[in-house]
Amino acid sequence: MASEDADENVHGHTGGPDEAAPADAAERAEGGPLDPKTAAAVAAAEAAGPGTGETVRIDSWIWAVRLIKTRSLGATACRGGHVHVNGERVKPAYSVRVGDEVRLRHEGRERVVIVKRLIRKRVGAPVAAQCYTDNSPPPPPRDAVAPAGIRDRGAGRPTKRDRRELERLRGLGGLGGPATGGPQGPTGLAGPGRSGSTGGTGRAGGAGR
């Protein structure tokens, strides 16, 4: 019923006092009147909520509030142990509740949020912000990255994708140097080999004549 009332507010219908129930409840929860934009966002969040008696999966919720880009990524994060609710690792089908603390590790950043509203449909950023309290630590500064060419100990051999990324970070400066040098490096070792091969062919031809 609350979902239907909020939906009428979102679409701008006018009617009885019940239509303003979601916004009025939000005002009471926030301790004062809301500005029009916030009130509209609250109403939209209520409209995206589940029906009476319905639950919301954690993989669906973190996608709906824009903590993760796709629902499939949300399910993958849960299976990989990157989503915790109230300190416990959870599966994608876990039913999240208002008041739960959700911790998500994604793309090198940790998000810590407290659930304020349950929604099942993905909403815009202003509406999503009304669905949780963000207690996340600040993201690391952009300059706090490992220098190009430095890999974590135990990371193993770099993949082709890793090597391409390292070359990009180096500005491709390391590719031109060895090519013009002498015997140093892989390119330098290839030079004498090619020369020797050509010379050997020439001598063989001369001997034949």
Could you tell me if 74 and 116 lie in one domain? Answer: yes
Could you tell me if 62 and 43 lie in one domain? Answer: no
Could you tell me if 38 and 14 lie in one domain? Answer: yes
Could you tell me if 153 and 124 lie in one domain? Answer: no
Counting the structural domains of the chain, the total is: 3
Q: Is residue 75 part of a domain?
A: yes
Question: Which residue stretches of 14-57 are H helix?
Answer: 21-30, 36-47
Report how far residue 171's alpha carbon sits from residue 39's, in angstroms, rounded to the nearest whole number: 49
Could you tell me if 60 and 36 lie in one domain? Answer: no
Q: Are strands 109-115 and 101-106 parallel, antiparallel or unpaired?
A: antiparallel
Could you tell me if 159 and 98 lie in one domain? Answer: no
Boundaries of domain holding 169: 144-173
CATH number at residue 126: 3.10.290.10
Could you tell me if 60 and 129 lie in one domain? Answer: yes
Could you tell me if 122 and 83 lie in one domain? Answer: yes
Tens of each residue's pLDDT in the chain, 209 residues: 444 433 333 333 334 444 344 444 444 445 556 778 888 888 888 888 888 888 999 999 999 999 999 999 999 999 999 999 999 999 999 999 999 999 999 888 899 999 999 998 999 999 999 999 999 998 877 665 455 556 566 667 778 887 777 777 766 544 444 444 444 444 444 444 444 444 444 444 444 44
Could you tell me if 130 and 64 lie in one domain? Answer: yes
Could you tell me if 67 and 107 lie in one domain? Answer: yes
pLDDT of residue 157: 77
Residue 19: count other Cβ atoms within 10 Å of its Cβ: 18
Report how far residue 174's alpha carbon sits from residue 189's, in angstroms, rounded to the nearest whole number: 16
Could you tell me if 94 and 156 lie in one domain? Answer: no
Q: Is residue 189 part of a domain?
A: no
Could you tell me if 101 and 72 lie in one domain? Answer: yes
Q: Is residue 183 part of a domain?
A: no
pLDDT of residue 4: 40
Q: What is the pTM of this model?
A: 0.54
